[in-house]
Amino acid sequence: MLDSYTQKAIRPLISSLAGALHGLGVGANTLTWWGWGLGMASAMAIANQMYVLGLCVLLLSRLCDGLDGAVARLSQPSDAGGFLDISLDFWFYAAIPLAFAWADPARNALAAACLLAAFISTGTSFLAYAVMREKQKAHTSQATCLQPQHEPNPTAPEATVTRADKSFYFVGGLTEATETLGFFVAMCLWPSYFPTFAFVFSALCTVTSLTRIRSGLRDL
């Protein structure tokens, strides 16, 4: 919900850093791997109840995640890079709730399990939508090539959905990257309240999944 505003606010900083890294020869995939590695380090720190350290490393991880796409756009974005980015992102998002469960199983395990289940629902709806839109685009493009040029196809996916500088189609929701990061920060700052944060965010993720399913059924 807040991603578009956040991206607009930090775009000048990200563009400046990306330009510098690109000039130094740092590739987008390298940043993606660094973001994943720092994310795993953050999870390890949290699992050992070093929450402030975990938070600092987590923020560095997300900075790398924001920079990899910007660096890719300065060179040549690739499907392989997009695949790597989204795959490692979901690995990171799963690792943080697991780390809190590891840190205090008696207090956090159930809440972490609910949050992981909610992440599965949002991730599935997110990726399934992207796959179906890509498939629909391919079918529409093939049909358009067979039509006379004076007969536009008003049902083309591009009329309602764009990639918005992403490597795949996506549909937004109540809980996106900004909201997820905000809750992760709160969990690290106030770890004793992790179950409350996790249950609340699980409910918000459920709303997101339901709205994405509704949007997918409408658009497809």
**Three state DSSP letters for 137-199:** HHHHHHHHHHCCCCCCCCCCHHHCCCCCCCCCCCCCCCCCHHHHHHHHHHHHHCHHHHHHHHH
Across the range 59-67, mean pLDDT stands at 95
Q: In which band, very low, low, confident or very high, does the pLDDT at 46 lie, cut at 50, 70 and 90? A: very high
User: Could you tell me what percent of the chain has a pLDDT over 70?
Assistant: 83
Query: Over 70: is that where the pLDDT of 161 sits?
Result: no
Query: Over 90: is that where the pLDDT of 57 sits?
Result: yes
92 vs 175, which has greater pLDDT?
Answer: 92
CA 185 to chain centre: 16
Q: In which band, very low, low, confident or very high, does the pLDDT at 176 lie, cut at 50, 70 and 90? A: confident
94 vs 77, which has greater pLDDT?
Answer: 94
Say which CATH superfamily domain 3-219 falls into. CDP-alcohol phosphotransferase transmembrane (TM) domain (1.20.120.1760)
Per-residue pLDDT tens over the stretch 98-140? 999 999 999 999 999 999 999 999 989 888 888 888 887 766 5
pLDDT for 156 equals 31
Query: Over 70: is that where the pLDDT of 170 sits?
Result: no
pLDDT for 140 equals 59
Classified as helix, coil or strand, 78 is coil
d(CA 58, CA 8): 21
Query: Over 60: is that where the pLDDT of 216 sits?
Result: yes
Q: How far apart are the first and last CA of the chain?
A: 22
Query: Over 60: is that where the pLDDT of 145 sits?
Result: no
Query: Over 60: is that where the pLDDT of 54 sits?
Result: yes
